[in-house]
Amino acid sequence: MYAPNLFQDKVALVTGGRSGIGYGIAEALLKLGAKVIICARKAAPLAEAAAALSEHGTCVQRPCDIRKSEEVEALADLIESEFGRLDILVNNAGGQFPSLARHISDNGWNAVINTNVNGTFYVSRIMANRFFVPQKSGNIINIVVNHLRGFPGMAHTGAARAAVENLTKTLAQEWAVYNIRLNCVAPGTIISSGLDTYAEPVKALLDKMKEENLMQRHGTIEDVANAVLFLASPLSAYTSGTTLYVDGMDHLHGDRMRMVNMFR
Ligand SMILES: CCCCCCCCC/C=C/C(=O)SCCNC(=O)CCNC(=O)[C@H](O)C(C)(C)COP(=O)(O)OP(=O)(O)OC[C@H]1O[C@@H](n2cnc3c(N)ncnc32)[C@H](O)[C@@H]1OP(=O)(O)O
Ligand SMILES: NC(=O)C1=CN([C@@H]2O[C@H](COP(=O)(O)OP(=O)(O)OC[C@H]3O[C@@H](n4cnc5c(N)ncnc54)[C@H](OP(=O)(O)O)[C@@H]3O)[C@@H](O)[C@H]2O)C=CC1
């Protein structure tokens, strides 16, 4: 539905682009003409992903832990030398693990906060200072989760994603003067590699959530990628500091309260 050359001459960075939703976003941007950089921690699958994505256009990769700002600076160096500019940043890298809050260790809490909040902030600040501010243009899309009613069973990620959503609102205002837009996409339950990390009883809960979803399905990677394309494009030129839910209305339901009983 989008013009085939929508992102011609645009350069996009997709963090966590080696798998799942990030891979799908990278592929969608490439197919519409963008040049794409992907990063992730695991070098071998990252290189494989970039090789496969190169079928659709120019895709380069560099291993990078977004929690380490010096690695993010090195990633910016690569983007500078390869392309000399950056137009779109998709902060997709992230994750967590299921646990009731009282069982989350300090390290477990910090791993999730560092990944989702600190990592997203480091990449955003570094790419803004290196590219978006001097260019006086930029577009940042932060992938969060649906945490509207809290997130029983994943307190760390609920707190982290709420922080990212608030950061998005702040930076959208601070950086509007540089013609930089920021928005969040909040996926519901999406069929992707991320879901493979969940074992029972969460798997059973996911099936239940699918049954109870008013659209009677989980989301697809394409559902999320299409929302990102909209926010990355001039079609959303007057939209900044907001969150687009791609969750088949899950955020309107209270179903997640059931997971409290499952872990009791
Ligand atoms: C419920 C409702 C669902 C409801 C339904 C949900 C609907 C879908 C919503 C969202 C879906 C998705 O996001 S799907 C995407 C999922 N993808 C991911 O999560 C992948 C990325 N995740 C990760 O890399 C990791 O999970 C993350 C912890 C964030 C970072 O990893 P690190 O390598 O830094 O972590 P490690 O060094 O291994 O561990 C650091 C500490 O975290 C603890 N830790 C790590 N994994 C742990 C685990 N499974 N259980 C307990 N504790 C764990 C370790 O024990 C360590 O603490 P100590 O032992 O004390 O030292
Ligand atoms: N699938 C779903 O239902 C939902 C997913 N989301 C979110 O969407 C995003 C993508 O999820 P999905 O594709 O499903 O899951 P994946 O686990 O496949 O994707 C996570 C990606 O992030 C990368 N990553 C994780 N930590 C870091 C880090 N510290 N530095 C750099 N890269 C990192 C991983 O690569 P590597 O391990 O090599 O670093 C991986 O490529 C995540 O933020 C997730 O929480 C949100 C709502 C629902």
249: left (phi over 0), alpha (psi -120 to 50) or beta: left
Pocket lining: 195 vs ligand 2, CB cutoff 6 Å: yes
Which domains does the chain show, CATH number per domain? 11-262 (3.40.50.720)
Pocket lining: 50 vs ligand 2, CB cutoff 6 Å: no
∠ CA 28-226-220, rounded to 5°: 95
Q: What is the pTM of this model?
A: 0.97
DSSP string, 186-252: EE-SB-SGGGGG--TTHHHHHHHHHHHSTTSS-B-HHHHHHHHHHHHSGGGTT--S-EEEESTTGGG
Tell me which residue has its CA closest to atom 30 in ligand 2.
65
DSSP string, 29-46: HHHTT-EEEEE-S-HHHH
Q: Cα(117)–Cα(63) distance, rounded to whole angstroms?
A: 19
Pocket lining: 190 vs ligand 2, CB cutoff 6 Å: yes
Pocket lining: 63 vs ligand 2, CB cutoff 6 Å: no
Q: Is the ipTM of this complex over 0.90?
A: yes
Q: CB neighbours (10 Å) of residue 23?
A: 25
Residue type present at position 254: G
Pocket lining: 219 vs ligand 1, CB cutoff 6 Å: no
Atom of ligand 2 nearest to the CA of 18: 41
Instruction: Taking residues 179-202, report their average pLDDT.
Output: 95
% of the chain at pLDDT higher than 90: 92
End-to-end alpha carbon distance in the chain: 46
Instruction: Report the length, in residues, of the chain.
Output: 264
Confidence of residue 260 (pLDDT cuts 50, 70, 90): low
The answer to whether the bond into 152 is cis (omega within 30° of 0) is no
Pocket lining: 146 vs ligand 1, CB cutoff 6 Å: no
Atom of ligand 1 nearest to the CA of 115: 29
Residue type present at position 153: G
Q: Cα(71)–Cα(107) distance, rounded to whole angstroms?
A: 21
Pocket lining: 248 vs ligand 2, CB cutoff 6 Å: no
Tell me which residue has its CA closest to atom 41 in ligand 1.
108
Q: Which of 161-165, 190-194, 239-243, 251-255 bottoms out in mean pLDDT, i.e. has the lowest?
A: 251-255
Q: Which of 8-12, 166-170, 259-263 bottoms out in mean pLDDT, i.e. has the lowest?
A: 259-263
Q: Cα(14)–Cα(83) distance, rounded to whole angstroms?
A: 15
Atom of ligand 1 nearest to the CA of 94: 21
* Tokens at 55, concatenated: 């079928």
Q: Cα(178)–Cα(68) distance, rounded to whole angstroms?
A: 26
Q: CB neighbours (10 Å) of residue 217?
A: 13
Residue 253's pLDDT is 79
Atom of ligand 1 nearest to the CA of 112: 29
